[in-house]
Each structure stands twice: as structure tokens, then as C-alpha cells.
Chain A
């Protein structure tokens, strides 16, 4: 059961935000959306989500920075963060490395291209 928990989806790819959002809504979750790290910060303050699906490579503030910041602050450390990363999948010309992800205190991560059913399973597991 989702208990109508609020999930924030953050990615600078609007198509991905939309598809994940549609899937979450169909599973009974409330959904908030943001398209970069700074916008996500504002949404977190306003809406206090139970869980964040957080992309890594984004403008203004990347997912690693935001995740570390959330986990270091007492008021946000309990928000579940699932990193959504393509880094595991042969994106060669990027300044990010998979090790950055391993060193980021996220609760879980899923590599793109995500299987939406797998993502739902990870979300449910982490919200239990």
C-alpha cells in the first residue's frame, strides 16, 4: 500500500520525470516534480516528501551534492533517497564516476535505463 505517500521525482529529462510520475500515480502515490537540484531543494522544504527519486547529472546542483546535503541535515536525513543514475551504463564522456555514487550516502540506487516495475519494487521496499 502506498498510503498516499509523497514522492519527489527529480531529473532534468522531462520525459523521464513524466513517465516515472505517471507510474507512481498509477500505484497510488502522490507525486511532486523538480527539474534540477535547486528546484528540488525548494520542493523538499515546501512539500516534505517521504522519498526522492534523484537523478545524478543535473544543472544548478547535481544529485550527489543534494543527496549528501540532505543526509547531513537533521531535518532531512530521514527522507529516503534513491539515486537514478546512468553512470553504470557506459556513458563515457562525463565528469562523474560510478565511485562518486558509491560514496554518496543514498539509501539505494537504480541504474538507467530503469525498469519502472523494478523502481516501484525498490521504492516499496525502502518505504516499508
Chain B
């Protein structure tokens, strides 16, 4: 039952269809594999419901979720990548549960993770969009996941979680969802947002410490906004959580002290930190159509612009770059993504 007494109010919850989740790791100098998988999926008209990419200098980690009806195409791509030496993990029957709006609050992510972990619901990945924070969980636990999220947050009484129609009632063949299967040379967007002067941090910890670590982050970051965050599952039951810190009202020294506190969380195994800028854009049906990730990542690759991180979730695209690189990225991307 929804918890109307929670201190964190949200607008609602949305659930995806069943997905195949693919996690691919390649040494960073060989990251040409990343555009390869997005290219194969785009050519096969397979939509990527969620994609998280982090390049941390040592290795490139890609997590992507594709609809089950595109699983064959994805598995063919994976076979090719395995032959080329990429490490691949695949998790079938995963679903996405999106909580919105998060308004860049780490508390929403933390509370969501805590609620899910309490019921032993494994969270394989998470990513933000303009409005939502999305968690990837086992689909056979989805009803429970929705119930736990409803308990954890204050949700308007009239809101009904948005389920894919196939699970909504007995009418299995009804579809209301948009099956946008069009592909233009120039893709329409609502415009580009650049956020500069961010600190990009990746922390690594074991799965069992996930709720605790994000809880500590939520404590430290009450006054700070996280315009970008993503979490990925890794081998050996570890997770990486990457985020960009922004909006801290204080001196540079205070900000540095806060970040140092985060970096000293005991349960964190490894940390990567650097200055970064973010580029954010979104567009109509980006979450329901194939080819968006391929066009964005392929364009950047062609132009030789390296990303630190990328998230494709719901209708949003988040790209993280080394400080000072967003202008080149905008220039390149504007050839294919255009504001009407």
C-alpha cells in the first residue's frame, strides 16, 4: 500500500516489459566494441530501453537492457564481442521500475535501493533520466518491487503504477504503447543542456553494502544535486555507482571536504574522481525507439570525442565528458539531433 506519511513525495511509478540485460566489459583502449553493439541493435531495429556506459580509464563497462523480442539480435552481437575478447554477463527476465520525479535528489535513489534491498530484491543497475530514477530488477519480483516502492514513498492516492499493457489485465494483446519505428537522418530533441564544473565520481562496493553506501551518500549529499548518476552490476557481486556532484552552495574547500568524506566511506573498495562537464538532452519517444544510442555514441566516436559516462534512460540522454569537451560534442551531435 502507498505510504502517504513518507517524507519523500514522488509523482509515480512506471514498469517496463521484460528485458534481457547485457553487461559488457572491455579494456578502455579497445572500446570500439561499444558502438558495435549499439550499431548492431539499431540495424536490427532493436530498442535499447536502458543503457549505461562508463569509461574509467582502465576499462569500459556497458550495461544495456533490450526488449525480449530483440534478444536474438542482441545475442548475435554478444557472440561477436565474446570472440573479440570482451567479458560479457547476461541476465534474462529483468524489468525496469522507474520512480519519478527524482529532482536530482540522492535521497530518492538511496530510499529506492534501501526499499528494494530490504526485500532481497537484487538491483542490477540504475540510471537517471530528466524525471525518473530507474532500477533494473528481476522481473519475477516486479510486483513485490512495486509494492516496496509504494510503501517507501509518498505517492498521490489517484496514481496507478504504469504497467505495460500486457501485464495490466487479462487482455494480453492490447497495446497502447507507442511502437515508434521511424528513423530520420535528423532526430528531433527539446534542446541541449550543458552543466559545467562538476565532479565526476565512481565508487565500487559489494552488492551487500549497496543500500548502506547509498544511505551514507544521501546523508552527505542532502544539499547537493546529482545531475547524473548510474549504477552497474559487475562480476563477483560488486556494483559501481557513478555520479556527478553539482549545486553545492559553499566554498570550493567545503565542497572538497564533502567529497573527501564520501571517498572515505569504509565499505567502498575503489574510487575514481575527476573534473567533468555534462551534456543532457531528451526527445519524443527516445525511450521507445531504436537507434538513439547508436546515433549519439557513433557520432562521438567518429569525431574522436571520448565520454566518461553515458546514460540512455526513458526519453533522456546524459553524456559526461572531461572538463571543457561539451562544446565539441554539442557541435557534432547537432548534425543529427536537432531542436525543431
Could you tell me if B160 and A38 are in contact, using CB atoms closer than 8 angstroms? yes
Binds A, one of B137-145, B180-188, B230-238, B247-255: B180-188
Interface size grouping (class) on chain B? 35 or more
Could you tell me if A58 and B176 are in contact, using CB atoms closer than 8 angstroms? yes
Could you tell me if A15 and B132 are in contact, using CB atoms closer than 8 angstroms? yes
Measured CB to CB, the closest approach of chain A to B141, in angstroms, equals 22
Binds A, one of B48-56, B83-91, B146-154, B278-286: B278-286
Residues in chain A near residue B176, CB distance under 8 A:
57-59, 62
Kindly state the separation between the CA atoms of A90 and B316 in the bound complex, as whole angstroms.
20
Kindly state the separation between the CA atoms of A35 and B12 in the bound complex, as whole angstroms.
8
Partner of B180, one of A16, A17, A91, A95: A91
Partner of A86, one of B168, B284, B314: B284
Could you tell me if A36 and B316 are in contact, using CB atoms closer than 8 angstroms? no
> Chain B: interface secondary structure?
loop
Total A-B contacts with CB atoms under 8 angstroms apart? 101
Residues in chain A near residue B168, CB distance under 8 A:
59
Could you tell me if A35 and B287 are in contact, using CB atoms closer than 8 angstroms? no
Kindly state the separation between the CA atoms of A94 and B117 in the bound complex, as whole angstroms.
38
- Measured CB to CB, the nearest residue on chain B to A92 is B181
> Chain A: interface secondary structure?
loop
Kindly state the separation between the CA atoms of A90 and B132 in the bound complex, as whole angstroms.
27
Residues in chain A near residue B316, CB distance under 8 A:
15
Partner of A59, one of B132, B162, B282: B162
Partner of B159, one of A35, A58, A89, A115: A35
Could you tell me if B339 and A14 are in contact, using CB atoms closer than 8 angstroms? no
Q: How many residues of A contact B (CB 8 A)?
A: 35
Interface 1/0 per residue, B173-196 and A, CB below 8 Å: 001111111100000111000000
Footprint of A on B, CB under 8 Å? 11-12, 14, 98, 100-101, 129-132, 156, 158-160, 162-163, 165, 168, 175-182, 188-190, 282-287, 314-316, 339-340
Footprint of B on A, CB under 8 Å? 12-19, 33-36, 38-39, 42-43, 46, 57-60, 62, 86, 89-95, 112-116
19 contacts between A and B (CB under 8 A): A13-B314, A14-B101, A15-B132, A16-B284, A17-B11, A18-B100, A19-B130, A19-B190, A35-B14, A39-B12, A57-B178, A59-B168, A60-B160, A86-B180, A89-B284, A92-B181, A95-B175, A113-B188, A116-B190
